[in-house]
Chain A
Amino acid sequence: MDATRVQAVPAGPLQATNGTPLWLLAELTYRCPLHCVYCYNPVDFALTERELDTEGWLRVLREARALGSVQCGFSGGEPMVREDLEILVAEAHRLGYYTNLLTSGVGLTEERAARLKQAGLDHIQLSFQDSTREMNDFLSHTKTFELKQRVARMIKANGWPMVMNVVLHRMNVDWIDKIIEMAVDLGAEYLELANSQYYSWAHVNRDHLLPSREQLQRAERITNEYRARLGDRIRMFFVVPDFYENRPKKCMNGWGNVFLTITPDGTALPCHTARMLPGLAFPNVRDQDLRSIWYESEGFNRFRGRSWMKEPCRSCPEQEKDLGGCRCQAYLLTGDAANADPVCDKSPHHGVVIEAVQKAQRPDAQRVTEHPLVFRGPKESRRLTEGKRVEA
């Protein structure tokens, strides 16, 4: 053994190794007791009816593990509404996944927490639900805070690492000091302060949600002050909305490279919002095994690598760095998923991003939007997608 080179390869957040789907995101259901205005579930989620049954999910877990998946996220909607959650967690654990539960904590009782621990659940990411009424609850430290305290105690009592996730936006970013203090009070070891990304419901509500530059700079400064003061006690991640960048993110670490999402009805996607892209057929695990889906399907191969690129990406020296950014953002903002992500200032469509950012600098930005805030829910979903059908 070569002991002079005893060191680990730092992989950080899951990096691509050989194009295996290291990350499996199991969106067990779109059902959710909450109505978050930035929800990334598709706007037409109410048209999806038939959820995969327990057997279907167990097969997904086995097939993805055989492909090399190591991280399994149980998400939704609210995954706690699935009564077979414990069965799925137990099988995922037995198969060798690191099991993550992404929940708002609603529905997590002492009994269920004990059963999930027994099943081998490794980690709970507790997110902050945050519609306006709930935000008021939170700011006044009433109902929501009590729920979070109760859930945080359960997380601690079961020996899980305490990871909190708060989606930031125009209406809550100014309270960042209160958010950080709450996370510290709850004993969180990690706090993700992730600015909303503008897809799905957040896209509908963008003018209400996109913070001003001043708001962002202030929030980042305050976060840094807390970092300096709190040191090792809590690790904080601050994610800036990419509308304020000049280069796009390397979305999902590359299309069909690391991430595999299975939606509640069994559709396999290279990212959780890709279903919105028109003209792309994504396979369903009811019809096809995951190996052929991952390696052979048109949906997963379409934007792999760089051969699909158009100008300015095709000749761009930075193409490897960001792979042209996000396909969904390109589609939402330019109408063509093969265009450069317009966050990039080399994109001829960059003006749409500039315009949204400029609008967000107005103090009355929320009042000049075309419609009031839209809360995620089945009724609104049907209204927004009237006449549209989803094949499942």
Chain B
Amino acid sequence: MNPPASAAPALQARPRVGAGYRLQWEPTQQSWVLLFPEGMVKLNGSAGEIMKRCDGARSVGEIVADLETTFDTQGLQADVLSFLDIARGKHWIED
């Protein structure tokens, strides 16, 4: 399925974890967590999988493709874009 035209610029962005945030896997919590000044957000599985791919090198389009390959599924684009919108709004990622 071709992405709608309006999604094209968003797919070219190369998000990375926001300045002042630290993303890491926590064995004791069995989850990815995002750390920031005096706080923590525990990410669920899907959010963790997306966030850990936000390395500033890969484009959103590549992240979507990688997720679809890794999890052997299709049609993740809309969900990934909407999560990234939320994450951007919270400064968890920046482009």
Residues A1 and B49 in contact, CB atoms below 8 Å apart: yes
**A147 adjacent to chain B (CB < 8 Å):** no
B contact residues around A14 at 8 Å (CB): 38-40
Q: In the complex, which range does the number of interface residues on chain A fall in? A: 20 to 34
**A122 adjacent to chain B (CB < 8 Å):** yes
Answer whether A73 and B38 are a contact pair too, CB < 8 Å, given A1-B71, A7-B44, A8-B44: yes
**A22 adjacent to chain B (CB < 8 Å):** yes
Distance in Å: Cβ of A125 to nearest Cβ of chain B = 7
Answer whether A70 and B35 are a contact pair too, CB < 8 Å, given A1-B67, A5-B46: yes
Residues B83 and A70 in contact, CB atoms below 8 Å apart: no
Closest B residue to A163 by beta carbon equals B37
Residues B36 and A9 in contact, CB atoms below 8 Å apart: no
Docked pose: A73 CA to B39 CA in angstroms? 11
Docked pose: A304 CA to B31 CA in angstroms? 26
Docked pose: A11 CA to B79 CA in angstroms? 21
Residues A9 and B20 in contact, CB atoms below 8 Å apart: no
Residues A7 and B86 in contact, CB atoms below 8 Å apart: yes
Task: Digitize B80-95: 1 where CB-to-A-CB distance is under 8 Å, 0 elsewhere.
Answer: 1011001100000000
Residues A71 and B40 in contact, CB atoms below 8 Å apart: yes
A contact residues around B87 at 8 Å (CB): 8
Residues A1 and B39 in contact, CB atoms below 8 Å apart: no
Most chain A CB inside 10 Å of its own CB: which residue of B43, B70, B80: B43
Residues A6 and B40 in contact, CB atoms below 8 Å apart: no
Residues B73 and A3 in contact, CB atoms below 8 Å apart: yes
Contacting A at CB under 8 A, from B20-71, are 20, 22, 24, 26, 28-29, 33-47, 49-50, 67, 70-71
Docked pose: A242 CA to B62 CA in angstroms? 51
B contact residues around A3 at 8 Å (CB): 46, 67, 73, 76, 79-80
A contact residues around B42 at 8 Å (CB): 8-9, 11, 17
The 7 nearest A-B residue pairs measured at CB: A68-B28, A98-B35, A1-B71, A3-B79, A161-B20, A6-B46, A6-B83
> Which residues does B use to contact A, with CB under 8 Å?
19-20, 22, 24, 26, 28-29, 33-47, 49-50, 67, 70-71, 73, 76, 79-80, 82-83, 86-87
Task: Please name 10 pairs of A and B residues whose Cβ atoms are closer than 8 Å in the assembled complex, sorted by A.
Answer: A3-B80, A4-B79, A5-B46, A7-B47, A8-B86, A13-B38, A67-B28, A98-B22, A98-B35, A125-B38
